A and B are shown apart, each in its own frame.
Chain A
Amino acid sequence: MMVRRKIHGSLISLLVLTLILAACGSDSTATTTSNTGSTNPAEVKGEITVWAWNVAAKSLEATVPSFNQKYPNVKVTVQDIGRTDVYDKLTSGLQAGGAGLPDVVAIESDRMDVYTSTFPDGLADLTSRASKYEKDFDPSKWAQSKISDKIRSIPWDSGPTGLWYRVDIFEQAGVDPKSIETWADLIAAGEKILAATDGKTKLLPVDIVADDAGFRMMTSQLGVCCYFNNDGKINLTNDKSVQALTLLKEINDKGLVANINGWDGTVAATKNGDVATVPFGVWYSGTIIDQAPDLSGKWDVMLLPAFEKGGNRAANLGGSTLAIPAATKNLDAAWLFVEHALATSEGQNIMMEKFGIWPSYQPAYSADLYSKPVAFFNNQPIWKLFADEIKNIPPATYTKDYAKGQAVLASAQAKVLSQGMDPKQALQEAAAELANQTGREIAQ
Chain B
Amino acid sequence: MAKTKLSDELVPKPFVSRFQRGAIYLLLVVGAFLSLFPFYYMFVQASQPSSEVLRFPPHLWFGSAAWSNIQGLFANGFGRSLFNSAFIAVVYASLSVFIASLAGYAFAKFRFRGRSILFGMFLLVLMIPYHVTAVPLFQLMAKITLFGDPTWISSYQAVILPALANPFGIFLMRQSMQSLPDDLLDAARIDGAGEWRVFTSVALPTMRPTLAALAIYSFMFQWNSFFWPLIIMRDKAMETLPVRINALVGLSIIDYGQLMMGTALTTLPIMMIFIAFQRQFISGALAGAVKG
Query: Is B one of A's binding partners?
Result: yes
Chain A interface (Cβ within 8 Å of chain B)? 5, 8-9, 12-13, 16, 20, 23-24, 26, 53-56, 79-85, 88-89, 92-93, 95-97, 99-100, 102, 108, 263-264, 267-268, 271-272, 274, 283-284, 286-287, 290-294, 318, 320
Q: Which residues of A contact B252 (CB under 8 A)?
A: 55, 283-284, 286-287, 318
In the complex, B253 has a CB within 8 A of chain A: yes
Q: Can you name the residue of chain A whose Cβ is closest to the Cβ of B132? A: A20
In the complex, B135 has a CB within 8 A of chain A: yes
Q: Give the B interface residue count (CB, 8 A).
A: 44
Bound together, the chains give a CA A287 to CA B50 distance in angstroms of 11
The answer on a CB contact under 8 Å between B133 and A20 is: yes
Which one of B124, B231, B251 lies within 8 Å of A53 (CB-CB)?
B251
The answer on a CB contact under 8 Å between A83 and B142 is: no
The answer on a CB contact under 8 Å between B251 and A55 is: yes
Minimum CB–CB distance from A267 to chain B (whole Å) comes to: 6
The answer on a CB contact under 8 Å between B117 and A5 is: yes
Bound together, the chains give a CA A123 to CA B221 distance in angstroms of 35
User: 1/0 contact trace for B118-157 toward A, CB 8 Å?
Assistant: 0011001000000011111111101100000001011000
Assess A24 versus B135: contact at CB under 8 Å? Given A9-B117, A12-B117.
Answer: yes
Which one of A8, A93, A99 lies within 8 Å of B117 (CB-CB)?
A8
Bound together, the chains give a CA A8 to CA B120 distance in angstroms of 11
For the A-B complex, the count of residue pairs with Cβ-Cβ distances under 8 Å equals: 126
The answer on a CB contact under 8 Å between B54 and A267 is: yes
The answer on a CB contact under 8 Å between B51 and A292 is: yes
Q: Which residues of A contact B55 (CB under 8 A)?
A: 268, 271-272
In the complex, B71 has a CB within 8 A of chain A: no
Q: Which residues of B contact A294 (CB under 8 A)?
A: 51
Minimum CB–CB distance from B207 to chain A (whole Å) comes to: 29
The answer on a CB contact under 8 Å between A271 and B247 is: no
In the complex, B14 has a CB within 8 A of chain A: no
In the complex, B64 has a CB within 8 A of chain A: no
Q: Which residues of B contact A88 (CB under 8 A)?
A: 227, 230-231
Q: Which residues of A contact B110 (CB under 8 A)?
A: none
Bound together, the chains give a CA A168 to CA B99 distance in angstroms of 67
In the complex, B19 has a CB within 8 A of chain A: no
Q: Which residues of A contact B189 (CB under 8 A)?
A: none
Interfacial residues of chain B within 228-270, with CB under 8 A of chain A in the complex: 230-232, 234, 236, 243, 246-256
Q: Which residues of A contact B253 (CB under 8 A)?
A: 54-55, 286-287, 290
Bound together, the chains give a CA A292 to CA B254 distance in angstroms of 13
Q: Which residues of B contact A12 (CB under 8 A)?
A: 117, 120-121
In the complex, B179 has a CB within 8 A of chain A: no
Q: Which residues of B contact A9 (CB under 8 A)?
A: 117, 120
Assess A291 versus B139: contact at CB under 8 Å? Given A54-B248, A82-B248.
Answer: no
